[in-house]
């Protein structure tokens, strides 16, 4: 399946078409993050087979790969929205403004900065403390789990913005 560089524009309501496709992409991004959580939760199955010095770094690696792929997906969505927005009228751009704000504000740092423990002293300190309390091999897992939480938060904020626009467009009922 060939993926395009933009979201397809529908003839009737172009904003609704973009939001619909963006909603599907947000779901895929959330699935990527949840896949990382799920794979790490499956780690106890392999505990009888692999020693902790092998299994625990693998868990950290799963979080690292999951967060990286989720960040790439997030960036690809931002690019697709920018390309799709180029042909829209000002009124339509105003309707998409909440989503554009989420993409403009998040992520606040690049992946190179996110993976650097010296640039994230708070996360590093919490990881070291957690490693001292549980097991030294858990320090990297806690650090990558923090990175996973950041990516989860990006998709949560984007999902809220998409839901807000869908409610304004009348696509979904407003829940109290």
What digits encode the pLDDT tens for the residues 78-108?
999 999 888 888 998 999 999 999 999 988 7
Q: Is 163 inside a domain boundary?
A: yes
Q: Is 160 inside a domain boundary?
A: yes
pTM of the model: 0.88
Instruction: Say if CB 81 and CB 161 are below 8 A apart.
Output: no
Q: What average pLDDT is seen over the chain?
A: 88
Confidence tier at 173 by pLDDT (50, 70, 90): low
| 120-124 average pLDDT score | 91
Instruction: Say if CB 19 and CB 162 are below 8 A apart.
Output: yes
Residue 147 has pLDDT above 70, yes or no: yes
The two structure tokens encoding residue 96: 């998409």
Q: Is 136 inside a domain boundary?
A: no
CB atoms within 10 A of CB 44: 9
Confidence tier at 176 by pLDDT (50, 70, 90): very low
Length of the chain: 176
The two structure tokens encoding residue 26: 């947000």
Q: Is 27 inside a domain boundary?
A: yes
Confidence tier at 1 by pLDDT (50, 70, 90): very low
Q: Is 114 inside a domain boundary?
A: no
Tell me which residue range forms the domain holding 53: 14-109+149-169
Q: Is 139 inside a domain boundary?
A: no
For the chain, the domain total comes to 1
Write the pLDDT tens digit of every residue in 3-25.
677 777 666 678 888 898 999 99
| 55-79 average pLDDT score | 94
Q: Is 159 inside a domain boundary?
A: yes
Beta strands in the chain (DSSP E): none
CB atoms within 10 A of CB 132: 11
Q: Is 68 inside a domain boundary?
A: yes
Residue 32 has pLDDT above 60, yes or no: yes
């Amino acid at each position: 399946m060939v993926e395009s560089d933009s979201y397809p524009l529908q003839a009737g309501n172009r904003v609704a078409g973009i939001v619909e496709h963006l909603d599907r992409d947000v779901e895929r991004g959330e699935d990527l993050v949840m896949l990382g959580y799920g794979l790490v939760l499956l780690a106890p199955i392999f505990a009888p087979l692999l020693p902790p010095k092998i299994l625990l770094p693998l868990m950290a690696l799963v979080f690292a790969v999951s967060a990286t792929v989720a960040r790439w997906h997030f960036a690809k969505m931002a690019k697709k929205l920018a390309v799709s927005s180029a042909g829209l009228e000002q009124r339509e751009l105003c309707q998409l403004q909440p989503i554009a704000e989420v993409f403009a504000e998040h992520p606040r740092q690049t992946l190179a900065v996110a993976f650097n423990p010296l640039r994230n002293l708070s996360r590093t300190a919490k990881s070291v403390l957690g490693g001292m309390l549980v097991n030294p091999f858990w320090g990297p897992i806690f650090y990558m789990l923090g990175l996973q939480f950041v990516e989860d938060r990006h998709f949560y904020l984007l999902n809220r913005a998409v839901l807000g626009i869908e409610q304004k467009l009348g696509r979904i009922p407003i829940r109290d």
